[in-house]
Structure 1
Amino acid sequence: MENNTTIKTHKYRLYPTKPQEAAMFETLRLTRQLYNAALEQRISAYKKQGKTVTGYDQQKELTALKEACPEFEAVYSHVLQEPFERLDKTYRSFFARVKRGEKAGFPRFKPAQRWNSFKFKEVWDKKKGRWLTPGRPTDDGKRINIPKIGSVKCKFHRPLEGTPKTLQILHECGEWYAVYTCEVPKNPLTPTGSSVGVDVGTTWFAITSDGEFVENPRHLKTGLRKLRVQQRTVARRKKGSNRRKKAVKLVAKNHQKIRRQRLDFHHKTARRLVNEHDVIAHEDLKVSNMVKSNLARSISDVGWSQFFDILSLKAESAARKVIRVNPMYTSQTCHQCGHRSKESRLSQSRFKCVNCGHEDNADLNAARNILQAGARPSGVNDSEVMHVVA
């Protein structure tokens, strides 16, 4: 049965009072403490007894924990359960990496700097079709109810869509946010009859098979001079001092601005592609491996992984199709005659086929090959000769 809904997040700025903010920080402290204690319990149980402790086993101990440590009574029950679920997810990811033969990275204890959110895993009553207490907006639409914390002022800059599922309270660069995860119905767009191949790079952000060159805004490079000055200031400040903390906050704010600029650019570019094309084929890049090269900063700045994720989500919601194509040989193959030779790639931007003499921009030629590979039946091998796409 086809699923006619998709998941969408809505992020709103919160403006807590000082007592409310103190309660939020205390919730962060206690949930982080719970996560670290749960991790320590699992490690000790395995070392001493060879026993595996699950998140469900640890959740059953919460009642006894509240009796022994009354401070945990100040935290909503679902919020206390979430650190165990988060730890379960971390363990699953660890074992999946081990199975794939990748660098595993065993789960680590969380310092305060790496624990900036707590979560309400249920905010909607499905049977009665109404809000539960966590995250429920007030009648005037200017506040939300956060159990054990109070009614917190919230800026709803856009309406919530669909059915809310979860609520995450996030602390980011000195600011608080409410992040709702909602189940929304898909909104299929009118078919355009158009298909496009997309080649991404660092000189140009994207080159499409129909000849469009999307400029790379280079947000990190633009803000690098200011970042360098701020980071030198941090280095000169005494560790633990208030002046250093203020300098660190300025660096974090600047990084936040760069992230937001990049995210906005990715959303707008993906939206335009989804609106204009029914089928979008792009390279299936292993970005985590590519950032180990001498182009690491440029690759991180362009943010391909985030862009591809956003593109897939928007396409799913609009009933469009996104195809990931193996990028192997797309830059060495002539899209006119199908001949493959590395000598045809004369430079970063020039392509001249040694077989038929066809000349083209190298990235544009690659984008057309990507479209061609995306249109090929799934049973055909990528290494086979490519044919012309009209």
Structure 2
Amino acid sequence: MEDTALKAFRYRLSPTKAQTALLETTLVLCQRLYNGMLEERKGAYTKAGKTISAFDQMKALPEVKEVLPEYAGVNAQVLQDVAKRLEKAYKGFFRRLKAGQKAGFPRFRGRDRYDSFTYPQPSQNSVTADGKHVYLPKIGNVRIKLHRPYEGKFKTLAVKREGMGWYAVLTCEVPRAAPLPATDSSVGIDVGVTWFFVTSDGEYCENHRLFQASSKKLRVAQRSFARKPRKNSNRRKKARARVAKLYRKTARQRLQLHHEEAKKLVFAHDFICHEDLNVKGLGQGNLSKQIHDVGWGQFFQILASKAEWAGKRVVAVDPRFTSQRCRVCGHTERGSVPDIFELRLCWTGNP
């Protein structure tokens, strides 16, 4: 096992009006460059059968700056990272194509679908000594809220826009933490929509139904948004921002719940099993809204990540008949869930 690992720290930025304008301009220019590079690749292969690499496109960036002087106001490494991002999209396309999956060829990005840019080699002194500002080349010192301390060596610095807010994501190389003390405990969890999950020890985790709790406010905001048909009006933009804000709040509440519950399981058990569910397929059925609300896929990812850091083990098992198999005697009743009386007999050991 490696001695170091990568860990991301996300902080809120408070740029001035001038800095916000520069951030917006940088995003727009990166988005246009991404689309231009994608068009160049497609055209070269379609017309001449030639494949253009990310290195070829990075070498051509000085010529782009001569033709389009506005790109001189964007950090050179940020522009190079745009080519690397497109290269990553192509590699993902060919990997999925080779694996027989739904490939999804790289697409052109609109302004609303390009929300971040990255400094791939940030200075180790990017954050000021007082912890109140972060230096972004070509933009300046931007005020940052360090709500928790970061650690390790900076590897990348990404700037991301979410709604009307801006965030800095510091990816750091940190020493791998020592494993947590062993508890000699194993547990299986069964996720659902009535309860978030039920453990094999008989513990129940409540399903808070966060989306349902915010549905009334969301319904009002969506109706207000639908009553504004002019696409470029300021009122429509504000109404859309209100809807997006409600969705973000629900998503953050769900993310916090998943982190808290995953942490409890990892601290309490050494070995954790859960069903290897096809969450995407289940989300297309009659209970799609409830399944998307509970967010099983995100929870499983967070649980596996925390377990790896803590030196614990998480295993996904075949979900077939797991709800009809007695955890004590191993009997499987495929027709229906075993009767409570039968389970009680297994638990007590009576014939």
Query: Which bracket does the TM-score occupy, shorter chain normalised?
Result: over 0.9
Query: TM-score, normalised on structure 1?
Result: 0.85
SS in 2 for 1:59: helix
Partner deviation per Cα, 1:322-372 (whole Å, 9 max, x = no partner): 112121221222333323232232xxxxx339xxx7326xxxx9xx9xxxx
Greater shift, 242-251 or 295-304, is seen at 295-304
> 5+ unaligned residues in a row in structure 2: which ranges?
none
Contact 1:334/1:358 (<8 A) preserved: no
Q: What CA distance in whole angstroms lies between the structure 1 residues aligned with 2:77 and 2:276?
A: 38
Greater shift, 335-344 or 181-190, is seen at 335-344
Partner deviation per Cα, 1:235-263 (whole Å, 9 max, x = no partner): 11122110000000000110110011001
2:278 alignment partner in structure 1? 286
**Structure 2 residue 214 is the aligned partner of structure 1 residue 223:** yes
Greater shift, 99-108 or 73-82, is seen at 99-108
**2:339 alignment partner AA:** K
Q: 2:132 aligns with which of 139, 142, 164?
A: 142
**Structure 2 residue 168 is the aligned partner of structure 1 residue 178:** yes
Q: What CA distance in whole angstroms lies between the structure 2 residues aligned with 1:81 and 1:45?
A: 20
**Structure 2 residue 248 is the aligned partner of structure 1 residue 256:** yes
1:169 alignment partner in structure 2? 159
1:359 alignment partner in structure 2? 343
1:326 alignment partner in structure 2? 318
1:103 alignment partner in structure 2? 102
**Structure 2 residue 269 is the aligned partner of structure 1 residue 266:** no
1:38 alignment partner in structure 2? 37
Q: 2:308 aligns with which of 309, 316, 328?
A: 316
Q: What CA distance in whole angstroms lies between the structure 2 residues aligned with 1:108 and 1:173?
A: 22
SS in 2 for 1:205: strand
**2:209 alignment partner AA:** R
Q: What CA distance in whole angstroms lies between the structure 2 residues aligned with 1:186 and 1:194?
A: 23
Contact 1:195/1:280 (<8 A) preserved: yes
**2:259 alignment partner AA:** H
Contact 1:6/1:317 (<8 A) preserved: no
**1:68 alignment partner AA:** V
Q: What CA distance in whole angstroms lies between the structure 2 residues aligned with 1:82 and 1:3?
A: 27
Contact 2:325/2:331 (<8 A) preserved: yes
Using the TM superposition, give the Cα deviation of residue 283 of structure 1 relative to its aligned residue in structure 2, in angstroms. Answer: 1.5
**Structure 2 residue 239 is the aligned partner of structure 1 residue 247:** yes
Greater shift, 151-160 or 94-103, is seen at 94-103
SS in 1 for 2:220: helix
1:381 alignment partner in structure 2? none
> 5+ unaligned residues in a row in structure 1: which ranges?
125-130, 346-350, 369-387
Query: TM-score, normalised on structure 2?
Result: 0.94
SS in 2 for 1:52: coil
Using the TM superposition, give the Cα deviation of residue 219 of structure 1 relative to its aligned residue in structure 2, in angstroms. Answer: 0.7
Using the TM superposition, give the Cα deviation of residue 26 of structure 1 relative to its aligned residue in structure 2, in angstroms. Answer: 0.6
Q: What CA distance in whole angstroms lies between the structure 2 residues aligned with 1:358 and 1:123?
A: 63
1:203 alignment partner in structure 2? 194
Greater shift, 310-319 or 24-33, is seen at 310-319
SS in 1 for 2:85: helix
1:122 alignment partner in structure 2? 121
Partner deviation per Cα, 1:73-110 (whole Å, 9 max, x = no partner): 11111100111111111122222222233332221110
1:376 alignment partner in structure 2? none
**1:270 alignment partner AA:** A
**1:228 alignment partner AA:** R
**Fraction of identical pairs, as percent:** 49
